[in-house]
Amino acid sequence: MSFLPYALAAWLFFVGLYGIVTSRHLVHLVVCLGVMQSSTYVLLLAIGYRTGKKAPIFTSGVPTKVGAVDPVVQALTLTDVVVSVVASALILALVIEIWKRSGKLCRCSAPPCSAQPAISCPHGSTTSSRLRSRQP
Protein backbone atom coordinates (compact mmCIF):
# COMPACT_ATOMS: atom_id res chain seq x y z
CA MET A 1 0.00 0.00 0.00
CA SER A 2 1.47 3.28 -0.99
CA PHE A 3 1.37 6.53 0.92
CA LEU A 4 -1.50 8.00 -1.13
CA PRO A 5 -4.43 7.06 1.19
CA TYR A 6 -2.53 8.43 4.18
CA ALA A 7 -1.86 11.62 2.27
CA LEU A 8 -5.57 11.79 1.44
CA ALA A 9 -6.46 11.41 5.14
CA ALA A 10 -4.08 14.23 6.06
CA TRP A 11 -5.41 16.37 3.20
CA LEU A 12 -9.04 15.89 4.27
CA PHE A 13 -8.13 16.65 7.88
CA PHE A 14 -6.39 19.91 7.06
CA VAL A 15 -8.97 20.99 4.48
CA GLY A 16 -11.71 20.46 7.07
CA LEU A 17 -9.66 22.28 9.68
CA TYR A 18 -9.17 25.20 7.29
CA GLY A 19 -12.91 25.28 6.71
CA ILE A 20 -13.63 25.31 10.44
CA VAL A 21 -11.11 28.08 11.14
CA THR A 22 -12.29 30.33 8.30
CA SER A 23 -16.00 29.54 8.67
CA ARG A 24 -18.43 32.41 9.07
CA HIS A 25 -21.56 30.30 9.42
CA LEU A 26 -22.20 27.76 12.15
CA VAL A 27 -23.92 25.22 9.89
CA HIS A 28 -21.00 25.51 7.47
CA LEU A 29 -18.73 24.78 10.41
CA VAL A 30 -20.62 21.58 11.22
CA VAL A 31 -20.31 20.34 7.63
CA CYS A 32 -16.57 21.10 7.64
CA LEU A 33 -16.35 19.04 10.82
CA GLY A 34 -17.96 16.21 8.85
CA VAL A 35 -15.21 16.49 6.23
CA MET A 36 -12.64 16.30 9.02
CA GLN A 37 -14.32 13.20 10.39
CA SER A 38 -14.27 11.54 6.99
CA SER A 39 -10.47 11.69 7.09
CA THR A 40 -10.59 9.14 9.91
CA TYR A 41 -12.52 6.70 7.71
CA VAL A 42 -9.86 6.89 5.04
CA LEU A 43 -7.07 6.51 7.61
CA LEU A 44 -8.64 3.42 9.22
CA LEU A 45 -9.36 1.71 5.90
CA ALA A 46 -5.86 2.49 4.64
CA ILE A 47 -4.37 0.82 7.72
CA GLY A 48 -6.35 -2.37 7.14
CA TYR A 49 -5.89 -2.57 3.37
CA ARG A 50 -3.65 -5.25 1.88
CA THR A 51 -2.79 -5.16 -1.77
CA GLY A 52 -4.42 -7.96 -3.75
CA LYS A 53 -6.66 -9.17 -0.93
CA LYS A 54 -10.41 -9.36 -1.24
CA ALA A 55 -13.25 -8.00 0.88
CA PRO A 56 -13.74 -9.93 4.16
CA ILE A 57 -17.01 -11.59 3.16
CA PHE A 58 -16.92 -15.39 3.28
CA THR A 59 -20.06 -16.88 1.79
CA SER A 60 -18.88 -20.46 2.22
CA GLY A 61 -17.97 -19.98 5.88
CA VAL A 62 -14.23 -20.48 5.45
CA PRO A 63 -11.66 -17.91 4.33
CA THR A 64 -10.65 -18.08 0.70
CA LYS A 65 -7.12 -18.78 -0.45
CA VAL A 66 -6.68 -15.22 -1.68
CA GLY A 67 -7.09 -13.81 1.82
CA ALA A 68 -8.98 -10.79 2.97
CA VAL A 69 -8.27 -7.27 4.14
CA ASP A 70 -8.49 -6.56 7.87
CA PRO A 71 -12.15 -6.69 8.94
CA VAL A 72 -11.52 -5.20 12.40
CA VAL A 73 -10.72 -1.71 11.13
CA GLN A 74 -13.69 -1.97 8.79
CA ALA A 75 -15.96 -2.59 11.77
CA LEU A 76 -14.34 0.40 13.48
CA THR A 77 -14.99 2.52 10.39
CA LEU A 78 -18.61 1.41 10.30
CA THR A 79 -19.03 2.55 13.90
CA ASP A 80 -17.22 5.79 13.08
CA VAL A 81 -19.58 6.58 10.19
CA VAL A 82 -22.68 6.12 12.34
CA VAL A 83 -21.29 7.94 15.36
CA SER A 84 -20.13 10.92 13.31
CA VAL A 85 -23.58 11.62 11.92
CA VAL A 86 -25.05 11.38 15.43
CA ALA A 87 -22.40 13.78 16.71
CA SER A 88 -23.16 16.16 13.85
CA ALA A 89 -26.87 16.02 14.71
CA LEU A 90 -26.05 16.86 18.32
CA ILE A 91 -23.88 19.82 17.28
CA LEU A 92 -26.62 21.02 14.92
CA ALA A 93 -29.09 20.93 17.83
CA LEU A 94 -26.62 23.11 19.78
CA VAL A 95 -26.42 25.45 16.76
CA ILE A 96 -30.22 25.78 16.77
CA GLU A 97 -30.10 26.66 20.48
CA ILE A 98 -27.40 29.26 19.79
CA TRP A 99 -29.57 30.72 17.06
CA LYS A 100 -32.60 30.81 19.34
CA ARG A 101 -30.69 32.65 22.04
CA SER A 102 -28.54 35.05 20.04
CA GLY A 103 -30.54 35.26 16.82
CA LYS A 104 -27.56 34.96 14.52
CA LEU A 105 -25.59 32.18 12.95
CA CYS A 106 -22.33 33.82 12.01
CA ARG A 107 -19.25 33.93 14.15
CA CYS A 108 -18.55 37.64 13.73
CA SER A 109 -18.81 38.64 17.36
CA ALA A 110 -17.17 42.06 17.60
CA PRO A 111 -18.92 43.86 14.70
CA PRO A 112 -22.60 43.08 14.09
CA CYS A 113 -23.53 40.90 11.14
CA SER A 114 -25.27 43.69 9.26
CA ALA A 115 -22.07 45.73 9.22
CA GLN A 116 -20.42 43.25 6.87
CA PRO A 117 -22.41 43.17 3.66
CA ALA A 118 -19.81 41.05 1.86
CA ILE A 119 -20.50 38.04 4.09
CA SER A 120 -23.84 36.43 3.56
CA CYS A 121 -25.64 36.30 6.85
CA PRO A 122 -29.37 35.77 6.43
CA HIS A 123 -30.13 36.20 10.11
CA GLY A 124 -29.11 39.71 11.03
CA SER A 125 -29.55 41.63 14.20
CA THR A 126 -33.23 42.28 13.42
CA THR A 127 -34.12 38.72 14.39
CA SER A 128 -32.39 38.96 17.71
CA SER A 129 -34.10 42.22 18.56
CA ARG A 130 -37.44 40.70 17.65
CA LEU A 131 -36.69 37.66 19.80
CA ARG A 132 -35.56 39.84 22.64
CA SER A 133 -38.72 41.94 22.49
CA ARG A 134 -40.83 38.80 22.60
CA GLN A 135 -39.33 37.81 25.92
CA PRO A 136 -41.00 39.25 29.05
Partner 1 sequence: MIPLQVVAIVLVGLGGLAVVAARDPLRQALVLGVYGLTLVILFVVLQAPDVALSELVVSTVAFPFILFTALAKMRDRE
Residue ranges in contact with partner 1 by CB under 8 A: 1-2, 4-5, 8, 11-12, 15-16, 18-19, 24-25, 27-28, 30-32, 34-35, 38, 41-42, 45-46, 49, 51, 53-57, 68-69, 74, 77-78, 81-82, 85, 88-89, 92-93, 95-96, 99, 105, 120, 122-123, 127
Q: Any idea of the CA torsion for 94, 134, 103, 125, to the nearest 10 degrees?
A: -170
Cα(16)–Cα(112) distance, rounded to whole angstroms? 26
Give me the helix-helix angle, 71-102 and 26-48, nearest 10°.
170
CB of 108 to partner 1, least distance (A): 14
Which of 5, 112 has the CB closer to partner 1?
Answer: 5
